[in-house]
Structure 1
Amino acid sequence: MANVDLNSSLATPRPPTAATPTPTPTLPPPSVVQPAGAFNCAADAITCVEVASASSQTQGSVPVTFGQPFKAGDWQPTSQGLVAKVDGTTIPLQTDELSTHRDGSARFAVLSAQLTNLPAGQKRIINLYRGAKSNSTPNVPAKPDWNLELEAQVYDANGSVTTLVAQPQAQLVSQIASGSERRLAGAIASEYTVTLPFKNKATGATHPHLTARLHTRLVDGGQRIRTDVVMENTRTWTPNPANITYSLDVKRNGSTIYTQPKFTHYHHARWHKVLWTGSSAEPQARVRHNMRYFLDSKATWNYDLSINVPEAVLAKWATDLQKLRTAQAALGPMGNAFLNPYFPSTGARSEIGPLPRWTATYLITQDERVREVMFANADAAAAVPIHYRDEKTGQILDVETHPKVSVQYGTSNPVVPSSSPKDTIWHPDIPHQGSFTYIPYLISGDAFYLEEMAYWAGWNVASYNPAYRQETKGLLYAHQVRGQAWGMRSIAEVAHALPNSHIQKNYFNSILANNLAHYATYQNNSKQSPIGAMIGSSHTHDAAPWQNDFVGTIFSLLVENNEPGAKTMLDWVNRFNIGRFENEANGFCMAHAPGYYWKVRKDTGEFITSWADLYATNYPTEQGKACSTLPITEGYPHLALGYAAIARGTLAATSNAGLKGATSAYQAWKAKTPLMDADFRNDPTWAIIPR
């Protein structure tokens, strides 16, 4: 696989000092399979989830909070409520953080349910139904027994130590009284985001950069409190942003309940730790989704749920994660897990695809080991220095408020303070960026992962040259083609996932709409290829079919979600994506469809307009040979991660978007590439199939 360049960068600068290498798990023989263990919902339910006890004892109270996507039209929250039943008996259910489809029906919600008397090792199916609307009144004490204190020992370059403290109890009490900064509100769970800076314990002076954001969830009437302690070094405008070396103790009523040993927290990065406190222990339960419905909601692509992933693959993910945690221990929360810290490096990587390999594997298996890997990588992405919070608004930096801002390329106005020192293990970019936290948020409903999505999408827009992105429009068209694909994915993810009530919902919707309106102009544009081949910022005469496929895959899901303008762009780009597979009668042999780079302009600079000319230009030695006699030698047709597999996944996604010719092209290409099917069990990144 040395020549597979799915992730190459045309201009590859010298990488910074690298972290511990992150090997891709070795692919074992697919001999022993681990079935996904599907479960059945009630026939008349919208969908259901399974809650399994992870305790060795019966649990009297088991509150669970999770995310749930919905198919368009299945639940109209303006006129209908949502009801939960276990074995036909109604149980308490609470709905929060609602995002809707364009027709007003629910797209996504964070749900909280209350189970009782769950025996050790037992499972319960929670079926969800439409029902009468009802109110869920918050049930929290005015002064909960929380009493957390965060104490950081900060080390300067000379080894001197300063003690910083953050004491959030009074602020939580105030927010409970006012109802402010509350994202979950009901009888089952109430969650407040308590934000405060650290102060010098001796002088009371506020630290300029280190901030705590505590997502504080009270359940069982406040007898249990789940605190997601988020440590941020993310301010945009404060002078002299830098790495901070410190240790952290979290105390409750003066006793230490968690310690993070000394490590270096990178500038514009963050990390988190979930802690449970209160009179009862943390609920021990695992939530699994009805994955058939989850995928049918069109929140993501239609992965092949019939794949049996070998047990050896699942076990290898787990053992490799433990090895990496040991190897990266010195980095503390800034460890990179399986992520390659030097994004532009060449070679196939597990994070590159519509979803990362580990995420696709989780969707197919819902295996707990792969879930742990998926969340470990989501947490690692928080250590990348792309996190810019506008301390003037408290929100992610946006280009509507600051049209001429840039945090990476071009001249910024206002000037963003530069980071010193700049040395981290990371070198982020957009063309080699994974989808790190979208699925983790959809299954967990955790605020940390929602904000991670917003940070990445915000950076993808604000990092670019203001002139190239057309300032407030936030356009991505000037990037490499693959950068346009992954950038559009990040914007769509957060635009769809953010609850309707979120203050930045309209901002990300606007950025998405601006880009879709721009791409819709490609349909009849003399500056664009008449056969739908995209040319990015680094190529003027060549197009990469596989990068075109990236774009086609992203836009196919946008079309399935009825985003205006998306189909106009998809129709244009699929002249090329589908055309490579259906123009043998016009002089282009399908065997060469998974090519690497093709010339799409003549030497005179004019676009090639016919398939016969495209074939003659790029495959002159194949002229005169019958297409039926040509073997498929390009694109690694026997592997699940080659260009041939990418093409198959794209054709399936395009078929799901309803484009003419996509289904027949998929069927024809699937018949010609049977060897990759066995490898999808080891790597299902592109194992997308027609719905």
Structure 2
Amino acid sequence: MKISYFFSATLLAAALCTGAPAIAAPEAGITSIRIQNTGEARSDVPFTFGQVFEAGHLQPGQGLGGRLASGTVVPLQVDVKATHGDGSVRHAIVSGVLPELASRQPAGLQLVAAAAQAPAARPAGPRELAATGLDGKVTIVVDGARYTASLAEALATNKPRPWLAGPIASEWLLDAPLKNASGRVHPLLTVRFDVRWYRTLKKQARIDVVVENAKTFAAGARNLVYDVEVEIAGRPAYALVGLTHYHHARWRHSTWWDAERAPALHLQPDTDYLIATGAVPNYDRTLKPDEQALGALGKGLNADTVGPMKIGPLTAYMPTAGGRHDIGPLPGFSVLYLLSMDARARAAMMAAADGSGSWSIHYRDDNTGYPVRTDNAANKGISTHNNLAHRGPLPVPRCDSAPGSSCKSPYGDDTSHQPSLAYLPYLLTGDYYYLEELQFWAASNPLATDPGNSGDGQGLVRWMQVRGQAWSLRTLGHAAYITPDAHPLKAYFTKQVDNNLAFYHAAYVVGNPNKLGLYDGSGPRAASVNGSPPWQDDFLTWSFGHLAELGFAKALPILQWKARYAVGRMTAPGYCWIQGSAYSLKFREDKGLPAYDTFAQLYRENFDRDKLTIDDKPVQHPQGLRYIDQACGSQAQADWLSAATGQRWERGRMVGYSSSPMGFPANMQPTLAMAATYNIPNAERAWSVFTARANQPNYAAAPQWAIVPRTAPVATGKTRNRAR
């Protein structure tokens, strides 16, 4: 259900003066947003942003007003998209118009709940916009033929999909056929205009042009090379020659009807409130982001990194190994933005979100118009794995391998190294393009295998590497959490989350296959493991905690079972916490045999030997002393490590690149924070030991792992957060 609420200070005053029924005055503020003008002084400045709310803070039927520092209340339109289980608003898109905004100056806007004002009697329609004279077109010259998509035609004839509807802003998603001179529609390329119109402001409309090569069932899928021109209201808005558009990829370009009057705004949400909602992890807000890192993000955005088929600060080949800025619960540049509200970090985050369309994972169902779903008899056999191209009943057509055609792309996707690409951008902007990006990635993740591995349409991620399971669950959870209630894919993603949680609950909580809480490959068709990579296991444990934060209650028992592994490596008798962040651990004698019964046994079987591997290097004490004989956390243990590694080793320093903000102790931090948040036995002690360790990283330039415990789980509805 999508509801639009409108609060008007003018109507409030009129009601009080005329004796009409009184409208309640604004209540205490819920949260705030800072609107920074980055351009010239303007009057009547339109703005739109996405806002997530804590459960219970904005009730159904309530409106919002935006209170300025002067006390003036700016009328706001609230398009409700998603709601909490209690019916209160979870996510909404908020629109308004500032009376004026000085050059390079900010305006703080406090969001205050108020009685809802009745919506406009007659919402604007696309034909009304067309009558004002807005026109535009996309021209693409491909394979020697010219194709054109007309905005005016789409406004006048198509059935638009409304996205925003109210007295301040209306937005429609308009599919525009890309046709040649004879009226033939291009078999692969499609165009959509997303038009956001501020009705009361002359020529104030934002036009997003989305070009896709993303059909799922069309024959002849391939890369296309073309020239493209975008024209809005008779003026050139964008042009590019020789663009290579990869198969099953897409791009967008955003422009304004009156380009000279286009608002230049940097919108800064309240990070404390955003974190308190549980929508994003509890990042350590005592950190001060590094200026050099912010500067590097800004310098990294240029013609080589921004634009169609460009990916901003992302790594093109996702399987690339090693610590990376884009891998983590959220990417480093996104967290830098949350902690700094710096425009350079936001620009990097948005460039990555735009660029996420460049990977060949976008499969749009030609019949429904939405990302392909597999929970039906016709589609449940879909797989994008190249080795399964011959399989029925309905294999996705592979990229055309005919001579002369091209299917190669510099962009390689990989669930094991998949960043969170569009979730936070959608949360903060409400732009439909970012919602679809999140949905495309969530929908595609289970497809690259035999359908039986993913549960024949259930969306199970059990078959992936352990870290791939973690990041896929995160992406799926984000899609289920934030997809609008009325969207056809809401129930689909929610059911897939439920399917996955049911699998892990049966395999681990009920099956209880080991006493350590580690992932051991249990459950039918699950990825087998020969040893335990603790850092990957920690990613998976954190993902269950994050799903619990998002309100998926069935994730909590799995977290409680799994978190024992991380907590035990820091606190269990007989296991030395210095090795809590080891790269890999042998956890059973052989494949198929039970896991070790105790952490003490786990420790002995891995470290009761003459030679060890420390930070990827084989080491041995020059005098033949045994590592396991040194007391845990002692100076003698540090001396042994110094002598064996040839470098100074501080007492209380953990293994695994301890000083790196991307090292294995850093990777462990979110899981220990989550365990402490949810009061896992001994988790508080594990967190204390962890935070007292020596040689800790400086997260100022790369804070993606800098998550700290909350004072209470989000599920209580009364969460407040703590910083380390």
The answer, yes or no, to whether TM exceeds 0.5 is yes
Q: Is the 8 A contact 2:28 2:113 kept in 1?
A: no
Identify the residue that residue 145 of structure 1 maps to in structure 2: 133
CA distance in 1, matches of 2:449, 2:185: 32
Q: Which amino acid aligns with 1:608?
A: Y
In the TM superposition, what is the alpha-carbon distance from 1:229 to its structure 2 partner? Answer: 0.5
Does 1:684 pair with 2:659? no
Shift of 1:244: 0.9
Pick from 277, 280, 291 the counterpart of residue 311 of structure 1: 291
User: 2 CA distance for matches of 1:596 and 1:192?
Assistant: 50
- What amino acid sits opposite 2:112 in the alignment? Y
| Higher RCO, Cα 8 Å, sep 6+ | 1
Could you report, residue by residue, the CA deviation over 1:335-362 in whole angstroms, capped at 9, with x for unpaired residues? 2333222222222111111111111111
For residues 208-227 of structure 1, the aligned pairs below 5 Å read 208-221=187-200, 223-227=203-207
Alignment match, 2:382: 405
Offset at residue 43 of structure 1 (A)? 10
1:34 corresponding residue in structure 2: none
- Which of 133, 146, 150 is matched with 2:116 structurally? 133
Q: How does 1:494-505 map to 2 (within 5 A)?
A: 494-505=479-490
SS at match of 2:692: helix
Q: Look up the match of 2:236.
A: 256
CA distance in 2, matches of 1:43, 1:578: 44
Matched, 1:618 2:606: yes
Decide whether aligned partners of structure 1 residues 540 and 650 sit closer, same or farther in structure 2, where only a CA change above 3 A counts.
closer
Distance in 1 of aligned mates of 2:654 and 2:571? 18
**Conserved 8 A contact 1:197-1:210:** no
2:220 is aligned to 240
State the secondary structure of the residue aligned to 1:82: strand
Identity of aligned residues (%): 32
Which residue is equivalent to 2:431? Answer: 446
Among 42, 61, 64, the residue aligned to 1:82: 64
State how far apart, in whole Å, the 2-side matches of 1:93 and 1:627 are. Answer: 59
- The aligned counterpart of 1:340 is 315
Q: Does 1:627 align with 2:607?
A: no
Task: Write the deviation string for residues 557-596 of structure 1: whole angstroms up to 9, x where unpaired.
Answer: 211233131011101111101111111xx21111100011
SS of structure 2 residue aligned to 1:333: coil
Q: Distance in 2 between matches of 1:479 and 1:412?
A: 22
Paired residue type of 2:437: E
Match of 2:561 in 1: 572
Task: State the match for 2:301 in structure 1.
Answer: 321
Cα distance in 2 for partners of 1:528, 1:134 equals 57
3-state DSSP of counterpart to 1:627: coil
Q: Is 2:407 aligned against 1:458?
A: no
Secondary structure, aligned partner of 2:330: coil
| Residues 412, 644 of structure 1: alpha-carbon distance in 2 compared, 3 angstrom cutoff | farther
Deviation at 1:103, TM superposition (A): 2.2
Q: What is the deviation of 1:263?
A: 1.1
Distance apart, 1:485 and its partner CA: 0.4
Measured in 1, the distance between the counterparts of 2:271 and 2:218 equals 44
* Greater radius of gyration (CA): 2
CA distance in 2, matches of 1:499, 1:354: 22
Distance 1:591 1:625 in 2: 12
Match of 2:364 among 389, 392, 400: 389
- SS of 1:664 mapped into structure 2: helix
Deviation at 1:152, TM superposition (A): 0.8
Aligned-residue Cα RMSD (Å) equals 2.0
Listed one character per residue, the Cα deviations across residues 54-80 of structure 1 (whole Å, up to 9, x for unaligned) are 2222x1111110011111221122x42
Residue 235 (structure 1) shift: 0.1
Aligned to 2:516: 531
CA distances 1:218-276 after superposition (whole Å, capped 9, x unpaired): 11436211011010000000000111111111123544332122211000000010010
| Inter-partner Cα distance in structure 1 for 2:360 and 2:415 | 13
| Structure 2 partner of 1:550 | 539
Is the 1:530–1:609 Cα contact (8 Å) retained in structure 2? yes
1:257 aligns to what SS in structure 2?
strand
The aligned amino acid for 2:543 is I
SS at match of 1:591: helix
Q: What letter is aligned with 1:377?
A: A
- The residue type paired with residue 240 of structure 1 is G
Partner of 2:676: 655
The 3-state SS of whatever aligns with 2:261 is coil
Match of 1:385, SS state, is coil
Does the 8 Å contact 1:481/1:535 carry over to 2? no
CA distance in 2, matches of 1:130, 1:43: 6
SS at match of 2:452: coil
Letter in 1 for 2:287: I
Query: What secondary structure does 1:334 align onto?
Result: coil
Question: What does the per-residue CA deviation read over 1:585-637, in whole Å, with 9 as the maximum and x for residues that have no partner?
Answer: x2111110001111111237221111111011111134343213234351111
Aligned equivalents of 1:398 and 1:495: distance in 2?
Answer: 14
State the distance in 1 between where 2:537 and 2:407 align: 34
Q: Which amino acid aligns with 1:83?
A: G
Deviation for aligned residue 1:412: 4.8
Decide whether aligned partners of structure 1 residues 318 and 578 sit closer, same or farther in structure 2, where only a CA change above 3 A counts. Answer: same
Give the length in aligned residue pairs: 630
Q: Distance in 2 between matches of 1:457 and 1:97?
A: 23
Cα distance in 1 for residues equivalent to 2:668 and 2:407 = 39
Shift of 1:211: 0.4
- Specify the SS of the correspondent of 2:186: strand
Deviation at 1:527, TM superposition (A): 7.1
